[in-house]
Amino acid sequence: MMTFSLANASPPLDVLYRTISEHHYGLYKMVSIQEGFNGIVELRTQYLVALAPLANTRLRRWVSVRLLQVMGICLTITLVGVLLSWVL
């Protein structure tokens, strides 16, 4: 886990934690704790997906295969619909 503070964040409680899980190929979980107006402490959690891991050849191949499968299923459904419309 990497921990660092935001350079332009309001002091003193703004902290951003970033964790990267290799299993999720670039899924970032950012948790920030900051002091808002009137001394209210806020806890924010965000999930971000990085596009850089798409350069990974194995992942790119996996995404390509899945897209081809989805396109094949859509084409099959379309052809079955056309054939049924001709028959009926």
Domain that holds residue 87: 56-88
CA distances in angstroms from 81 to 72, 73, 77, 85, listed in the order given: 14, 12, 6, 6
Same domain, 42 and 29: yes
pLDDT in tens, 10-32: 444 444 444 444 445 566 666 66
Give me the number of domains the chain comprises. Answer: 2
Same domain, 64 and 45: no
Q: What is the pTM of this model?
A: 0.35
Three-state DSSP class for residue 56: coil
Same domain, 6 and 22: yes
- In the predicted structure, residue 73 carries a pLDDT above the cut 70: yes
Q: In whole angstroms, what is the distance from residue 19 CA to residue 43 CA?
A: 16
Same domain, 62 and 43: no
Same domain, 13 and 41: yes
Same domain, 38 and 68: no
